[in-house]
Structure 1
Amino acid sequence: MPQKGVDRRTFLKATGGTAGLGLIAGCSSGGGSSDDGGDSGGDGDSGDGDSGDGDSGGDTTMTSGSDDGGSGAINIGSVQPLAGNFAPWGQVHSAGLAFGVQEINDNGGVLDGRELNIVEANSESDPAEAASIFERFAEQDDIVAATGPVSSDVGIRTSRTAQELGIPMFMHMAGSNDTITPETQHTFRVGLAPATPTAQAQAGLAADRGYENVAAIVGDYAWGRSIQSGIEENFDIDVEIQVAPVSQSDFSSYVRQVPEDVEMVIASGHPPGSLSITQQLYELGRNPEVVTGPSFPPNVIRSALGENANRGFTHVHLSDPYSDEFAAVAERFAEANDAQFNTHTAYGYVTAQLMAQAIENAGEADPQAITEATRAIEFDTLFANPIQYADSGELENQIQLYSSLSLDAPSYYSDGDYSYEELYRTDPLPAIDADQ
């Protein structure tokens, strides 16, 4: 039987982030990429982003428990993009992680009363900085596990660092196929399925809704080409695929090639341009029932698309906001933080719960033991299916959900400006091979 996290109590103030269309367009740094797979849906080719404003990279904070985490506390590392283009991902993930850890501690901690303590620093989505932070946390803070990467380049780099250190790394996003290889035995996905199952899922969505007129615009880099290959391999109908530069911001010439009666447009293959593609589809008279986007935090979609957020742009997610368990956690989070808990806040919360259960299953705060316990875990949490892993660290039998946004507040947070309407959920998706 899958294990379940127990009910938790509340935490102190934490904030999320929002972003406009300009920020999302800036998530690509242009040029090509050596990745074989995808990303969070915003890092374009390299995932570096720019440093943006805010705290300098590498500043360390202790974010739970007492200043030193308390006697016998177990440190976990949080290598987050808290400033720059990926701050909207990093901030909501950090808030969910902190909330989850505080609830665990309020409920008695792990291993007969030991508290978890988060050691956090801002990576600014720089791969070298993220690896340096990870190494420092291992050497100076004795962390037993880490989390946080969003961009693919950071995920690839820190998965190699995890292997060198022998410390498990739980990825927030970082959807590149290259994030996990046969050589990376300490890396686990949490919030994002890679390109291959994502293309399979979208083929299933089109078939389920009986669509015959489907178009796609993909970026001319590895993630976009991976989605293109996935479309060609998995769709039973002909899909008109156009390839645009990853730095493209004006898609009007591409949109004009899309049939006026198009039913579904796949924009997942051009993450940095997907919201611009969506706006320009509407401006040029196309009104598809579905535009598939990448895994943006829903607050980003709501902020960027405004009143158009409910016209069919899909939010892709693994956390299940339609479950009673999700609503219960979201209500507690709202009471504690006066903020809306969303599908990406859930990834941070779930990661805290997952780490805690792995520590309990391991019976000790030893990184290698935690890695092995995670590999064997079956953990029922806020996802549509219990979390399980293939030996590689790829998610096994996970369900991907596609939702449109409603402009109404959710039941658990009356001050919110969006909620979810389910369009489609996949069957359980198999793990991809680590060498794919």
Structure 2
Amino acid sequence: MVKRKLMHRRNFVKLSGVAGAGLLAGCTGGSSDGDSGGSDGGNDDTTADGGSGGGSSDPIVIGSLQPLSGPFTPWGNAHKAGLAFAIEEINSDGGVLDRQLEIVEADTKSDAAAADSTFRRFVEQENAVATVGPVSSDVGIRTARTAQELEVPMLLHMSGTNQAITPETTYTFRVGLLPAATSMQAQASLVEDAGYSKVGAIIGDYAWGRSVEEGIEEYFGTDVTIEAAPVGASDFKSFIRKFPDDLEMMVATGHPPGSLTIANQMNELGYAPEVLTGPGFPPGVIAGALGDLAFDGGFTHVHNTDVYSDEFAEVAQRFGEATGSQFDTHTAYGYVSGKMLAQAIENAGSADPVAIGDAIRNIKFDTLFANPIEYTENGELKNQVQIYSQLTSEAPSYFPDGDFGFEEQFRTEPLPALPADQ
């Protein structure tokens, strides 16, 4: 049932501990030259037996392609911390196939060419059997092609562009963000459930924004006033004034760089929609940018992580006790990626990348999401539930020192996977 509650080189990262992993408070994590510090692995091959599970005590290496500087730094820091915590738990429990997991990490700076080069180095020199972490759409598109060429699986943190997964890609898998069309299908169900008739949207005039526009036109059952703004726009007031004063919902998902500014400027102009949907920002970013408006202004945090589950609370409490930091939706994406890769390696019975890719395609992984993670042949999430939450100023019981909590507004029915040719 739909639920609604609307408004009111070889330098490995030795994961013997996760304290000090950077989160959202401005620390960038990682070193500026792309390699994180760590002890030397000392071996030239990840496996001594061609990748099979037995016969080797070498670590199983996972490449981490994180944006640890630049505009996506908060995403990279959160994902990095969650991944590190997952690997620490896995290794403390004996590892996988009687081997430890280790991470080799680099700052991509959200540069697609740099991410491609680093991916290749991870695989060809560091013997990585899988990679995780891309956030920007450009990086996701480029590295998905690299993953296919090298036949090494990659888990996307975000990269919601439809173009990241195509009929030709079978080694790239979404985790934290549904593609634009599926997200608009989800938001259309929110509009229908709430009975809204006065809906507006501001999109960026580029591929992601236009994909959101196409999704609105395909799935929304009510007329939506759509305004296209330049990607680099900082003043949206002329666009906002074109909407009726009694607007019920604003879709700012199609303009990720401007969505928080749109929220602030709508408030300045006296607009108070019940819901304003943005992109998948880490909640700490929302709270930091909007202040009190984050808790009382209708800005909606969109996420796949089910922060209302007992399992989430248990992991969040362990994380808080170990690191002194708040576990959130994006920290969870890193955690889920690490745990799911471990399960795929276990299911494959091998550290061979092709076998791991096959295992991910066939996985049914019950985790911190509302539904188990399952994939199509091309790596699109299927039967996932998208959740919409209002941030609250009350810290959660599992981390009393937290800066925010969550109040559920809406969750979708399980959503069908987007066909790879769309």
TM-score (norm 2): 0.90
Which of 248, 251, 271 pairs up with 2:256?
271
Shift of 1:67: 4.9
1:258 corresponds to: 243
Deviations 1:199-246 (A, max 9, x none): 001110011111111111111111111111111111111111111111
User: What is the identity, as a one-letter code, of the residue corresponding to 1:375?
Assistant: R
Which of 157, 167, 171 pairs up with 2:156?
171
- Secondary structure class of the residue paired with 2:228: strand
Q: What is the 5 A alignment of 1:402-421?
A: 402-421=388-407
1:208 corresponds to: 193
Instruction: State the alpha-carbon separation in 1 of the partners of residues 324 and 302 from structure 2.
Output: 25
Instruction: State the alpha-carbon separation in 2 of the partners of residues 69 and 53 from structure 1.
Output: 24
Q: What is the 5 A alignment of 1:364-375?
A: 364-375=350-361
- Secondary structure class of the residue paired with 1:241: strand
Q: Mark the CA change 1:290 to 1:415 in structure 2 (over 3 Å): closer, same or farther.
A: same
1:84 corresponds to: 70
Instruction: State the alpha-carbon separation in 2 of the partners of residues 11 and 59 from structure 1.
Output: 17
1:116 corresponds to: 101
Which of 14, 21, 28 pairs up with 2:21?
14
2:49 corresponds to: none
Q: Does 1:68 align with 2:41?
A: yes
Shift of 1:165: 1.1
Shift of 1:191: 0.6
Q: Does 1:145 align with 2:121?
A: no
Q: Does 1:428 align with 2:404?
A: no
Which of 163, 166, 174 pairs up with 1:189?
174
Q: Does 1:288 align with 2:273?
A: yes
User: What is the identity, as a one-letter code, of the residue corresponding to 2:298?
Assistant: G
Instruction: State the alpha-carbon separation in 1 of the partners of residues 349 and 376 from structure 2.
Output: 21
2:203 corresponds to: 218
Instruction: State the alpha-carbon separation in 1 of the partners of residues 391 and 36 from structure 2.
Output: 35
1:56 corresponds to: 32
CA contact (8 A) 2:129 2:351 kept: yes
User: What is the identity, as a one-letter code, of the residue corresponding to 2:358?
Assistant: E
Instruction: State the alpha-carbon separation in 2 of the partners of residues 335 and 244 from structure 1.
Output: 44
Q: Mark the CA change 1:403 to 1:176 in structure 2 (over 3 Å): closer, same or farther.
A: same
CA contact (8 A) 2:251 2:277 kept: yes
Instruction: State the alpha-carbon separation in 1 of the partners of residues 321 and 25 from structure 2.
Output: 20
CA contact (8 A) 1:69 1:115 kept: no
Deviations 1:234-284 (A, max 9, x none): 111111111111111101111111111111111101111100110011110
Runs (4+) of structure 1 exceeding 4 A deviation are none
Q: What is the 5 A alignment of 1:291-330?
A: 291-310=276-295, 311-330=297-316
CA contact (8 A) 2:344 2:363 kept: yes
User: What is the identity, as a one-letter code, of the residue corresponding to 1:388?
Assistant: E
Shift of 1:57: 4.2
CA contact (8 A) 2:391 2:405 kept: yes
CA contact (8 A) 1:74 1:115 kept: yes
Instruction: State the alpha-carbon separation in 2 of the partners of residues 327 and 93 from structure 1.
Output: 18
User: What is the identity, as a one-letter code, of the residue corresponding to 1:14?
Assistant: A
User: What is the identity, as a one-letter code, of the residue corresponding to 1:386?
Assistant: P
1:40 corresponds to: none
Instruction: State the alpha-carbon separation in 2 of the partners of residues 53 and 90 from structure 1.
Output: 9
CA contact (8 A) 1:15 1:339 kept: no
Instruction: State the alpha-carbon separation in 2 of the partners of residues 313 and 208 from structure 1.
Output: 18
Identity of aligned residues (%): 60
Instruction: State the alpha-carbon separation in 2 of the partners of residues 419 and 69 from structure 1.
Output: 44
Deviations 1:121-172 (A, max 9, x none): 1111111111111111111111110001000110111111111111101100
Instruction: State the alpha-carbon separation in 1 of the partners of residues 29 and 153 from structure 2.
Output: 30
Q: What is the 5 A alignment of 1:129-144?
A: 129-144=114-129
2:6 corresponds to: none
Q: What is the 5 A alignment of 1:384-399?
A: 384-399=370-385
Deviations 1:383-425 (A, max 9, x none): 1110000011111111111111001111111111111111111
- Secondary structure class of the residue paired with 2:190: helix
- Secondary structure class of the residue paired with 2:347: helix
CA contact (8 A) 1:11 1:103 kept: no
1:24 corresponds to: none
User: What is the identity, as a one-letter code, of the residue corresponding to 2:201?
Assistant: A
Shift of 1:12: 3.1
Which of 369, 376, 386 pairs up with 1:400?
386
CA contact (8 A) 1:10 1:332 kept: no
- Secondary structure class of the residue paired with 2:417: coil
CA contact (8 A) 1:219 1:246 kept: yes
Shift of 1:182: 1.3
Task: Count how many residue pairs are aligned between Structure 1 and Structure 2.
Answer: 392
Deviations 1:350-396 (A, max 9, x none): 00000000000000110000000000000000011100000111111
Deviations 1:13-70 (A, max 9, x none): 3220247xxxxxxxxxxxxxxxxxxxxxxxxxxxxxxxx99843432444xxx65299
RMSD (Å) for aligned C-alpha atoms:
1.7
- Secondary structure class of the residue paired with 2:120: helix
- Secondary structure class of the residue paired with 2:203: strand
Instruction: State the alpha-carbon separation in 1 of the partners of residues 224 and 157 from structure 2.
Output: 31
Instruction: State the alpha-carbon separation in 1 of the partners of residues 381 and 34 from structure 2.
Output: 30
